[in-house]
Chain A
Amino acid sequence: MFASCADPKSLEGLTWLLCYLTSGKHLDFYWSFLTVLLLLAITAPVALAMGFGGAMAARSAFLPLRLIGKGYTSMVRGVPDIVFFLFFVIALDQAIEWSVHQIRCPDWTEPIRNGLEFRVCPQAKVPLSSSAQIWHQAYGFALAIFTFAIVFGAFAANVLYGAMNAVPRPQLETGEAYGMSQGQVFRRILLPQMWVYALPGLSNLWMILIKATPLLFLLGVKDIVYWARELGGSKTQAYEYPHPDWRLWYFLGLLVFYLLFTRLSELVLGRIGARLSRGQATAAGEAMRKAGA
């Protein structure tokens, strides 16, 4: 990065460390923090939306929809995450390529499945093998987001389903007594009140999601844990910056990052919880009312 770093083997002390910490590989490491944050920023709302859809479906009066909603939550919650991340992603990837293959290469005669091989025509590769590496990474990242969203959406669906059922029935009856339709009762009374019941469960999920990000590497996305392991491993003279096993320091760095991030999340979630409890017919809401009075 700096001109003075051109010959790393002649450097010593702080200059060496500064050059080491700004090497191209370290910059990749720093970018991977952003990758993780971006994954969280996209996955959380998508998972929440899927959870909301799942909960609505599970509560539906229409039987097939109810079965889909309940089937989704119980199936995904019952499968170990690691199986999901190893099997589902490959299946999804192959399903996408198989579909593109049917559209783009209808005249292809060779078998797609050949023993253990999965081979579609070159035009059906997603992304094309001629695409820049960035597209391969973006595709892997999108698959990762989708997988995370499905898994966490199932858990969120169960949390929201429980929260919707936890809103006191008299609240809804009052709405009905005012002549509101089912939809109006749902939007005006159930929805605003259920979040306070959902928050503890959702905040748990958020914390687990933060800690599940190292699973990204299973999906071929180079995350912070991958880079920490790669950079921390002992390096011989084949590298420009040889050093002994420094994994401990890198992992300590990650520990600090995760602790700070979860602490920050706790603070924010605490504030959201306080905001949601205001004026609610719950113990927390009642305590706030008494304190204010």
Chain B
Amino acid sequence: MTRIALATAIVALTSGLAAAQDVVRLGTEGAYPPFNLINDQGEVAGYERDVGDELCKRAELTCEWVTNDWDSIIPNLQSGNYDVIIAGMSITDERKEVIDFSQEYYPAVPSVYVAASADADIKGGVVAAQTSTIQSAHVAESGATLLEFATPDETVAAVRNGEAVAVFADRDFLAPIVAESNGALIMVGEPVSIGGGVGLGLRKSDAELKGKLDAAITSMKEDGTLNTLIEKHFGPEGVKF
């Protein structure tokens, strides 16, 4: 009897080990609607949730969602806390030096300034941006005073309470906020095109996983599923492939 129990335990344990390779952990921020957010049920939701689930289905992977704050999202990928970053991360040469990117699953979209008044000084005033983003790098070079925050939400709050004259972020993140502000916030200046499209971040040593996900993204682009999802989350103005 004991021997049977032991054998069962060993089988269960080793089959668990075999399955270990097939679970892919997806790391996201959960604070960047409509890309990713924690919905009111406390689960990860948004465009990237739908894309990620579909990619895993097509690549025949079992996926698990985890959240991690933006600041340490790359170090935690490298130390293996999760296997993929899916967090609205633009593909840049600087990031490519430390991690690999899949092909883009969301096209490059310009970034915009949002301020409380039309005459806000976006060239020389205090401009808020999220830490370690392409936008914060751009503000630092633009001559304006950069005010960094850990979460995207705080950058907008800084404009509302007058700490900063404007916030600089992805248009897709700011557009719904401006639309729902009843005129309190407006877009100022010209949209700026910086960075490439949005891709999945992977460890450089994970070439096999990258191949599978790239193939899945290609198939989603070809049959139009990706465009349908963009329309669902970003509205008719969403930039499609």
B153 at the interface (CB under 8 A from A): yes
B183 at the interface (CB under 8 A from A): no
- Taking CB atoms and an 8 Å cut-off, the chain B residues in 163-191 that contact chain A are 176-177, 180
> How many Å lie between the Cα of A272 and that of B23 in the bound state?
51
B227 at the interface (CB under 8 A from A): no
B66 at the interface (CB under 8 A from A): yes
Which of B13-21, B122-130, B134-142 is found at the contact surface with chain A?
A: B13-21
> How many chain B residues touch A (Cβ–Cβ < 8 Å)?
45
New A-B contacts (15) at CB < 8 Å, excluding given A24-B43, A239-B33 = A8-B40, A23-B41, A27-B42, A93-B79, A115-B98, A117-B205, A118-B78, A120-B80, A233-B154, A233-B157, A236-B33, A237-B180, A238-B176, A239-B37, A239-B40
A253 at the interface (CB under 8 A from B): no
> How many Å lie between the Cα of A127 and that of B80 in the bound state?
11
> How many Å lie between the Cα of A129 and that of B24 in the bound state?
7
Most chain A CB atoms below 10 A, which of B25, B46, B62: B25
Interface range on chain A (Cβ under 8 Å from partner)? 35 or more
A230 at the interface (CB under 8 A from B): yes
Find chain A residues with CB under 8 A from B30 CB. 230
- A223: shortest Cβ distance to chain B, in Å? 13
Most chain A CB atoms below 10 A, which of B23, B68, B98, B160: B23
Find chain A residues with CB under 8 A from B42 CB. 23-25, 27-28
Which of A59-67, A172-180, A240-248 is found at the contact surface with chain B?
A: A240-248
Contacts A114-B205, A234-B153 given; indicate if A240 touches B39 (C-beta within 8 A). Answer: yes
Most chain B CB atoms below 10 A, which of A90, A129, A136: A129
- B92: shortest Cβ distance to chain A, in Å? 17
> How many Å lie between the Cα of A103 and that of B2 in the bound state?
26
Find chain B residues with CB under 8 A from A128 CB. 16-17, 20
| Residue ID in chain B nearest A114 by CB atoms | B205
> How many Å lie between the Cα of A97 and that of B79 in the bound state?
10
Q: Are B39 and A119 closer than 8 Å at their CB atoms?
A: no
| Residue ID in chain A nearest B14 by CB atoms | A123
- Taking CB atoms and an 8 Å cut-off, the chain B residues in 80-97 that contact chain A are 80-81, 83
- Taking CB atoms and an 8 Å cut-off, the chain B residues in 144-163 that contact chain A are 151, 153-154, 156-157, 160
Contacts A117-B205, A242-B180 given; indicate if A90 touches B79 (C-beta within 8 A). Answer: yes
- CB pairs A–B below 8 angstroms (11 shown): A24-B40, A90-B79, A117-B203, A120-B80, A123-B20, A129-B25, A217-B69, A234-B177, A236-B177, A238-B46, A239-B33
Find chain A residues with CB under 8 A from B151 CB. 229, 233
Q: Are A110 and B205 closer than 8 Å at their CB atoms?
A: yes
B197 at the interface (CB under 8 A from A): no
- B33 CB contact (under 8 Å) in A25, A117, A217, A238: A238
Most chain A CB atoms below 10 A, which of B21, B22, B160: B21
Q: Are A129 and B40 closer than 8 Å at their CB atoms?
A: no
A125 at the interface (CB under 8 A from B): yes
A94 at the interface (CB under 8 A from B): yes
- A231: shortest Cβ distance to chain B, in Å? 9
Q: Are A129 and B41 closer than 8 Å at their CB atoms?
A: no
Q: Are A136 and B78 closer than 8 Å at their CB atoms?
A: no
- Taking CB atoms and an 8 Å cut-off, the chain B residues in 47-76 that contact chain A are 62, 64, 66, 68-69, 75
Find chain B residues with CB under 8 A from A45 CB. none
